[in-house]
Structures are given as structure tokens and as C-alpha cells.
């Protein structure tokens, strides 16, 4: 891999918003919506149904003339400089390793949590910014930086892709020390690859897309593909205990990683050698999954690699209603032909996907109308109840044929109607563009967010119903205009349950401190989800956003064990970002 400088310069990212500067949704004068750039399948075409969909769902009117104005001069706290520490930094490191610029410090002071971070950055202000950004380029520099921070009583905050949606990068209240954001993205190299053992050693600052591109040129892949794969980093995946869309074939991050190297105030935490599997007593590296910046800086990891699949095929199936779709997934989970990815979306989210389709003309429009007539009239589907599944099947040609044949046969037993590979591919790839929708709608006084949870098979309907009812009750209680939006999908299936991914939204026009109100509503929905059998998170982590629910997740002694370990290994609290059980 080649050296990289500051991420926002290299990749032309928005910085505070999600994604790339060349990619955004815009509202045209004819009230169609377009996506700029050429990175995504949605780019370059007009979507006439998107605004009508949003207006119907939220019971509002969207006007091109009525948009929120982003704060031009964003408030940044003056840096709180520990002079003795900074003198050592200037003495020991080249000048390009650190930055005091307001723009750099602000970008490194937040993640992508909508109400608590992005909304405040764009239209208000955040309470605290980091005081210095440091770009480490090696393990030795990382050790040196940690030792200086320990000696001079400075707080260090690891920073990867900045895609956190759990307020994990938010500076804790009451932190009086100088806070330094440690950006890992220059540590983005592949250190070695062992093709015989199918292992690779990679530095933690590499993004998912760069890793897969490097491996792809050599005929391999890792297969970890979260929605944020373009921007998130290996270190961030480990620190949040992440999950990817193709976990059925490649595993979650804890299944992919064989060894982690973390540098802490007490030294290096790692296994001496990677192990396929061994009984060695306690495995300290297991503690590093989900550590969320509380213990040290993850600098590299050894991962399993796979030969690139010879065949990749998409498909989709429509079902008459959500309950039938869930039953299909349950029965699929009991088979030996589960595809790399399978996803079920509810009717509201299915219609959302349809609303993002480009305008069709001529023969394509006639064909689409015929297909719609067939589904609704010949097959008896209800447009307000039907839902859809999408599949990604990978492997050899025989593997993919076996999977597809049996999946479609099972779907047919549940009354499913095959939607075809085009819809399957579009539904899967749509995921990478959806995040941009939030920032587009925010300009029109609409706050949206996603939240996910793990739920037993027996509690799926209960959790979905409870979350929906709570949102509508709180929306009415606070006299929020229009109607609230909630949709959900199941992107992951397991032996004992599923991941449910919720999309929430509401118009907050003329609501004072609307971002705080939205955050409180989201918090209440999370509590209801857990009360009805859901988990604190499936793959986003805890951060500070979900800190209040840790007591319902771990026993008192478990929490004490973790705190004792932190106290013994980082007695000076160098890594004082305070996430999870350490959040105040």
C-alpha cells in the first residue's frame, strides 16, 4: 500500500457529513431527486417518486425554498495545550505528524451519530473539540506517543474512519486534560501475506475498500463488508466488534481476525503467533473486540483470507407480508444453503427502495407496468403489505446453483414471487447510498437515524411492534408535526435469532432543540427494544449513546472485572474517551 496523508484530502470526503464530496442527493426544480457523481448505481438518474414518498410517509410538504442553513463559521474551542507535552511532540516528531488547525480538530471531534453529533455540527455547535490531531505512522511512533501522554497526563483518543454512530468520539464531560486524537489512517499498509496459510497481516488504519482492492488484485478477499466499508477501518471494526453483510460466508469480525496487536500504557497486547484455534487459557485478545478506545490503540491484525469467489449472483423474492418473509428466513436458517447475504425488508422500506428507482421511459415503463399489474392483480399481492428479500450467493458455479435452486424452491413454498437478479443487485448495492439520504433530508428539517439490535426468533414481532408504538406515542406526546417514520429490515440471521435494523425519521420544523428531542425519543425506543428481548446493539457498539443500558446487559461482577482490568492496565486513564461501562 502507498502512504496516505490526511483522509479528507485524499478521498474528498464531506468531513462532517457522510461520504464523498462528489456524491450527494439534490432536489431539482421539477421536484425530482438526483444523486451526483458516479460512485453508486443511483448516480446520474432522476428519481421522481422519492419526494412524494417522503411527503406521504411524514405527512408534510417539502419545499426547495425552505431549507436549513448550515452554520458557516463553526465554533471550535481554542486548543487546551499541555505545554510540556507539546514541546516534546515538536522536538521528537516531524511537523507533518500533528495539526492544531480548527478544521482538523473539529473533524476528529465527532462521528456520525445524527442527533448528538452531525446535526449539532451542521446547524448548532458541539460542546468540546479535541486539542490536537496526531497522525501516527508506525508502532514505534504509537509507543512513543503513549509514553509521552502517560508522562505528561494527556488523554489519547484513537480515531479510524470517523463512521461511529454511537457517540464514541464525543469528548467526555469534565475532561480537563489536553485531548489528542490519534489518527491511524496513515497506518494503512499490508505488512505481509501468507497465501499457503491463507493469512494476511494488515495495519489497522486501512479502509475496507482499500483492503479488498489490494487483495482483489491478487485473487483474494476478506469478505467483511459493513455498510461503511468504503470509509471504516480495520481497527474500528475490531474496536466495535463489527458485523458485515456477508457474515454468513465469511463470519463476523471476531471470526475473521486471528490476532490483534494493541499498544497500551503497559506495553503490547497480542498473541505471539496467530492461532487457527488453541486452548491456551484466557485469550487477552478477546477483550480487544468491542474495547471502543478504552484500553489502547489497535495498530494491526492478522486476518483470514479467501480466494475470490468464482461466481457471484444476486436474486430477490417478494412475499405477501412481513410475517411470511420472517417464516421463510426462519426455515432458511435451518438449512445448509444459506447464501453469503440475505436481507428481508418490511413494506415501508420496500416502498422506500421503489421510490429511489429512476424514471422509466418507453418500453421499460411499459414492462414495469406489466410487472406491477401481474404482482398486484394476478398474484394477489397487496401493495401496502408486500415485502422483499434480496440474496447474494457466492462460491463456485456448482455452489451458487445449489444455493439458488434450493432458496427459490423454499421461497415458492412460502408463496414467494421471484424478483430477479437485477432487483437483488440493486437492493444490495442500495445500502451504500442510503446513508447520504439522511444528510439530504436534514436540510429540509427532517431528522433520521438508524438503530440495530439482536432479537430471538420468538421476539421479532414483539420488538417491532413495541418500537413502532413507542415512536408514535412519543411523536404525539411532543406535538411533532406530521407523522413519524419507522421501517425495519432483517440483514442477518443466526441459529437463535436475527439482527433487526430500524430506520427512524420525523419532521422537526419549528421544534426548539429538535436534535435533543429526537435523541430522547431514540433513547426511549432503545429501552423498549431491550425490555421486549432485544440487545443493546448488534454491531454499532455502545459508545456513550447506549451507556445507560449496560447494567441490563452485564452483571455487576462482570462490570467490576472489566473496570479492575482497566484500572490495573491504564491507571492514569490515558485512554479516557469513556465509552461503554466507562461512560459517565
Angle at 511 between CA 505 and CA 513, to 5 degrees: 90
What gap in Å lies between CA 222 and CA 411, rounded to an integer? 29
H helices present in 153-305, as ranges:
208-216, 234-240, 247-250, 253-256
Distances (CA, A) of 10 to 3, 21, 364, 445, 578: 11, 11, 39, 31, 30
DSSP string, 125-194: --S---SEEEE--SHHHHHHHHHHHHHHT-EEEEESSS--SSSTTSPPTT--S-EEEEE-TT---EEEEE
CA dihedral 254, 255, 261, 263 (to 10 degrees): 0
Using DSSP, state whether 311 is helix, strand or coil.
strand
Distances (CA, A) of 577 to 90, 293, 311: 24, 7, 44
Residue among 526, 454, 436, 462 nearest 494 (CA): 454
DSSP string, 34-91: EE-SSSSTTBTSEETTHHHHHHHHHT----TT--PPPPSS---PPP---HHHHHHHHH
Question: For residue 493, how many C-alpha atoms fall within 13 Å in the half-sphere facing its CB?
Answer: 22
Three-state secondary structure string covering 320-332: CCHHHHHHHHHHH
Residue among 138, 143, 137, 151 nearest 86 (CA): 151
**E strand intervals along 206-340:** 220-221, 257-264, 267-269, 297-304, 306-307, 311-319
DSSP string, 435-451: HHHHHHHHTTTEEEEEE
Residues pairing with 132 in the sheet: 180
> Is 373 exposed, middle or buried, given 0-12, 13-18 or 19+ CB atoms closer than 10 A?
exposed
What gap in Å lies between CA 491 and CA 452, rounded to an integer? 10
Residues classed as catalytic: 501
Strands 179-183 and 132-135: parallel
Using DSSP, state whether 238 is helix, strand or coil.
helix
Measured from the Cβ of residue 142, the count of other Cβ atoms closer than 10 Å reads 26
> Is 334 exposed, middle or buried, given 0-12, 13-18 or 19+ CB atoms closer than 10 A?
exposed
What gap in Å lies between CA 48 and CA 215, rounded to an integer? 39
Under DSSP, the state recorded for 117 is I
Packing angle of the helix pair 431-442, 421-429 (nearest 10 deg): 50
Amino acid at each position: 500500500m502507498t502512504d496516505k496523508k490526511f483522509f479528507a484530502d485524499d478521498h474528498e470526503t464531506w468531513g462532517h457529513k457522510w461520504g464523498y464530496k462528489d456524491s450527494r442527493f439534490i432536489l431539482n426544480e421539477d421536484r425530482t431527486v438526483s444523486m451526483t457523481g458516479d460512485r453508486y448505481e443511483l448516480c446520474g438518474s432522476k428519481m421522481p417518486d422519492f419526494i412524494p414518498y417522503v411527503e406521504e410517509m411524514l405527512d408534510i410538504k417539502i419545499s426547495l425554498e425552505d431549507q436549513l442553513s448550515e452554520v458557516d463559521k463553526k465554533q471550535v474551542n481554542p486548543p487546551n495545550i499541555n505545554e510540556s507535552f507539546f514541546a516534546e511532540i515538536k522536538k521528537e516528531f516531524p511537523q507533518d505528524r500533528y495539526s492544531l488547525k480548527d478544521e482538523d480538530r473539529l473533524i476528529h471531534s465527532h462521528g456520525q451519530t445524527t442527533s448528538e453529533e452531525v446535526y449539532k455540527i451542521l446547524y448548532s455547535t458541539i460542546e468540546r473539540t479535541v486539542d490536537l490531531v496526531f497522525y501516527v505512522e508506525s508502532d514505534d511512533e504509537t509507543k512513543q506517543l503513549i509514553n509521552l501522554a502517560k508522562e505528561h497526563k494527556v488523554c489519547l483518543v484513537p480515531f479510524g474512519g470517523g463512521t461511529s454512530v454511537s457517540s464514541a468520539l464525543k469528548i467526555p464531560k469534565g475532561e480537563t486534560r489536553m485531548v489528542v486524537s490519534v489518527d491511524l489512517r496513515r497506518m494503512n499498509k499490508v505488512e505481509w501475506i501468507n497465501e499457503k496459510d491463507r493469512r494476511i497481516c494488515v495495519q489497522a488504519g486501512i479502509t475496507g475498500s482499500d483492503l479488498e482492492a489490494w487483495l482483489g488484485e491478487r485473487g483474494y478477499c476478506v469478505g467483511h463488508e459493513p455498510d461503511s466499508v468504503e470509509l471504516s477501518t480495520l481497527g474500528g471494526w475490531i474496536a466495535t466488534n463489527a458485523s458485515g453483510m456477508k457474515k454468513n460466508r465469511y463470519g463476523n469480525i471476531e471470526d475473521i481476525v486471528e490476532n490483534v496487536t494493541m499498544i497500551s500504557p503497559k506495553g503490547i497486547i497480542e498473541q505471539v503467533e496467530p492461532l487457527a484455534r488453541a486452548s491456551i487459557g484466557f485469550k487477552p485478545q478477546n477483550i480487544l473486540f468491542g474495547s471502543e478506545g478504552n484500553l489502547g490503540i489497535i495498530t494491526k491484525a492478522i486476518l483470514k483470507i479467501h480466494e475470490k469467489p468464482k461466481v457471484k449472483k444476486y436474486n430477490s423474492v417478494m412475499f405477501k407480508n412481513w410475517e411470511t418473509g420472517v417464516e421463510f428466513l426462519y426455515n432458511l436458517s435451518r438449512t445448509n444453503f444459506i447464501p453469503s447475504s440475505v436481507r428481508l425488508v418490511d413494506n415501508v422500506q420496500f416502498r422506500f427502495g421503489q421510490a429511489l428507482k429512476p424514471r422509466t421511459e418507453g418500453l421499460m415503463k411499459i414492462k414495469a407496468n406489466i410487472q406491477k399489474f401481474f404482482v398486484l392483480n394476478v398474484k394477489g399481492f397487496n401493495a401496502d403489505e408486500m415485502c422483499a428479500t434480496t440474496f447474494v450467493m457466492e462460491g463456485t458455479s456448482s455452489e451458487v446453483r445449489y444455493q439458488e435452486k434450493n432458496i427459490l424452491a423454499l421461497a415458492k413454498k412460502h408463496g414467494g414471487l421471484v424478483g430477479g437478479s437485477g432487483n437483488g443487485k440493486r437492493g444490495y448495492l442500495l445500502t451504500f447510498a442510503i446513508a447520504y439520504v439522511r444528510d439530504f433530508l436534514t436540510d429540509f428539517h427532517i431528522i433520521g437515524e438508524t438503530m440495530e439490535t439482536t432479537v430471538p426468533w420468538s421476539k421479532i414481532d414483539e420488538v417491532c411492534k413495541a418500537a413502532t408504538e413507542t415512536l408514535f406515542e412519543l411523536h404525539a406526546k411532543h406535538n411533532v408535526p406530521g407523522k413519524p417514520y419507522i421501517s425495519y429490515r432483517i440483514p442477518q440471521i443466526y441459529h437463535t435469532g436475527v439482527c433487526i435494523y430500524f430506520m427512524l425519521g420525523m419532521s422537526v420544523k419549528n421544534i426548539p432543540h429538535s436534535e435533543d428531542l429526537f435523541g430522547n425519543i431514540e433513547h426511549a425506543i432503545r429501552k423498549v427494544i431491550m425490555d421486549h428481548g432485544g440487545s443493546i446493539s448488534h454491531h454499532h457498539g455502545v459508545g456513550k449513546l447506549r451507556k445507560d443500558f449496560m447494567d441490563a446487559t452485564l452483571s455487576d461482577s462482570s462490570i467490576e472485572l472489566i473496570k479492575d482490568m482497566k484500572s490495573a492496565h491504564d491507571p492514569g486513564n490515558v485512554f479516557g474517551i469513556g465509552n461503554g461501562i466507562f461512560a459517565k
